[in-house]
Structure 1
Amino acid sequence: MSESESTPRTRRIWIWVAVAVVAIAVAVGVWAFTAGQLAASPTSTASETPTPQPTEVETPTPGATAPVEKPDDATETPLDEVVELDQGASIKLVSVDAVTAGRDIPGESSGPAVKVILSVTNTGDKPLDTGGVSVNLTYDGDDRTPAPAVSADDATVLPASIAPGESAEATFYFAVPVASDGDIRIMVDILAAASDVVFVGARP
């Protein structure tokens, strides 16, 4: 091989070597830059960032008032008496009669019962709330056996409210055995702030 032929070949070898060196340098530079970026970034953002905790805030209720406590004592009175409440209500039993009532349906049967007609008069100067009035009856005197309410065609309830100076009536039926002993008690829960009214007397 002559000197003129070997010179280009040698030159090409050095060019390839130079290109390889540059390529290796670039690869090393890219790797170093990527490794540096990874080292600088946090491994877990979620583990290092504190979780905000909820703050309890007590929101006042506008116009909130303390619940009305119902008196524990109950007023007992004879069946034929009229009870006047300081809260502006007059309560009386229009009649208490022995009847046969009830329907032959599941959970109820026709039989001896007591029919009670209750009258409530508003003696105050504001509408009287009577939507929550409840009436119950017990028999057997001091044993106070609860009498279940039974249905009837003319059974009624009080209206939601009674205007000042006005009266309203409601009719209730309770299953009471004829052979029951002792007095019956008809309990009327008329107002949340008033004692229950309990009418006591003999079974008709």
Structure 2
Amino acid sequence: MKYYQDITLLPDADISLGFIWEKVYQQIHLMLVEHKNEAYVSDIGLSFPAYGDAAFPLGHQLRLFADNESQLADASVAQWLQRLRDYVHIKSIKPVPNGITEYACFSRCNPKSQQQRLKQLDRRVAHLSHKHGVDEHEMRSVLLTSVKKHSGRSQLPYIRVQSLSTPAEGQHRHQFMLFIQCDKSNSAPDGGNGFTCYGLSAKAKGKETFVPWF
């Protein structure tokens, strides 16, 4: 990734940062779908420079990456965010700085539901109680407490996204929570399978796609 473009989100007293994220990300998703390549994946990847921010987990900035300046220019992000122009500040396309020493992989994560965790619990009780020399009833109680604590929720940042798939007649488009995971590396991993139309690393174990982190 040799070029990048920053988008800063600008909340105010009436519009929350979370609401702006939803609207901006939906438009970016539409843009990436429109500009997907011949392999039906995106040449543009996303980064969240303030990921993990204490005030808001995704921070207030979105960074677009591409190998070529023309890929970002042709995407015309300002046009896609035109109706949100009062709530975003879009900077010009710039070359990635030299001397990058850290890289990040942003990918979609699907947290387990409580039902899935309960099924897994039944399989683990006997094994773990034998392994740790603990009564099965006691081990089940410990694991059940953990399941209830998580309740199918993830500690990862997420954005509510509207599915682009065509809904059944009389139904509204499906909304879901897109959980975003970030993994770091001190070296530039080779290869990768590109990005999804959410701008995240395409899922492929050992072939994740990283972007410069700065």
Shorter-chain TM-score bucket reads under 0.3
Is the radius of gyration larger for structure 1 or structure 2? 1
- Which structure: greater strand fraction? 1
TM-score relative to the length of structure 2? 0.22
- Which structure: greater helix fraction? 2
TM-score relative to the length of structure 1? 0.22
Higher relative contact order (CA 8 A, sep 6+): 2
